[in-house]
Amino acid sequence: MAAVEERTSVRAEARYVRTAPRKAQLVAEQIRGRTVPEARTILAFMTRDAARDVEKVLSSAVANAEANHGLDGDELYVLTATVGSGPTLKRWRARARGRVARIKKRTCHITIALALPAEQLIPEPLPQPLPAAVPAPEPEGEAVEDETPEPKPSPRKKAETTETAEEKPKPKRAPRKKAGDTTPEAEAQEPKPKRAPRKKAEADKPKTTRKKKEADS
């Protein structure tokens, strides 16, 4: 029978972090062996960019201890804080005389383990709640007895429309007038043209100038 290993730490790991291992290692050394409140205070006031990545891993380890084992995060301390090198991305940069220079974009793996003081044992993980059972869908073919039938819309009254149509006959159109039609009916329908206004008598007389009047006298 295999022996059950006793758990003494809770860990969290971040892989393929876009930070050089040397830069992250300088930050991890500052929090190793310190309590969680002290480590958070140190990381909050550090000016290095790698401190933000290490702080995220520390918060993840504290969340694992609180959610999975029911521990208080402020009672834990940083047991180990290690940084391992990850794959390096190769990039190129143009240089003088048609040459190129290599750019190495390094990555790292950050691991932080938390433990209780005096090397106390970590309690067993808490039982996770079972997922809620989803009710099975009812088959479409079977009808439900409790459902009330929907009221059908009342049919439209067609009889009234037919009666009104019979009572009101359609007006007949007047026949169109053809060219050269001189029947009395066509003359009665044709509107009489309006008379032009008569011109005044003075307008009919020719205008006489003053010189012409003197010559006539």
Note the pLDDT tens digit of each residue in 28-44: 999 999 999 999 999 99
The per-residue pLDDT for range 118-160, each reduced to its tens digit, is 878 888 888 877 787 777 777 765 555 556 667 777 766 665 5
C-beta neighbour count of 53 within 10 angstroms: 21
Tell me the CATH number at 21: 3.90.470.10
Output phi, psi for 96, to 5 deg. -70, 160
Question: Does 133 fall in a domain?
Answer: no
Question: Does 67 fall in a domain?
Answer: yes
Q: Count how many residues are written for the chain.
A: 217
Question: Does 78 fall in a domain?
Answer: yes
Q: Residue 168 to residues 164, 171, 174: CA-CA distances in angstroms?
A: 6, 9, 18
Cα distance between residue 73 and residue 112, in whole Å: 14
pTM of the model: 0.58
Range of the domain at 59: 10-118
Amino acid found at 168 = K
The per-residue pLDDT for range 69-90, each reduced to its tens digit, is 889 999 999 999 999 999 999 9
Cα distance between residue 79 and residue 119, in whole Å: 10
Question: Does 100 fall in a domain?
Answer: yes
Question: Does 4 fall in a domain?
Answer: no
Q: Token pair of 176, please?
A: 């169109």
**CA torsion angle 164 166 168 170 (round to 10):** 130
Question: Does 103 fall in a domain?
Answer: yes
- Residue among 76, 84, 85 nearest 58 (CA): 76
Question: Does 62 fall in a domain?
Answer: yes
Total of domains in the chain: 1
Cα distance between residue 115 and residue 65, in whole Å: 9
Question: Does 174 fall in a domain?
Answer: no
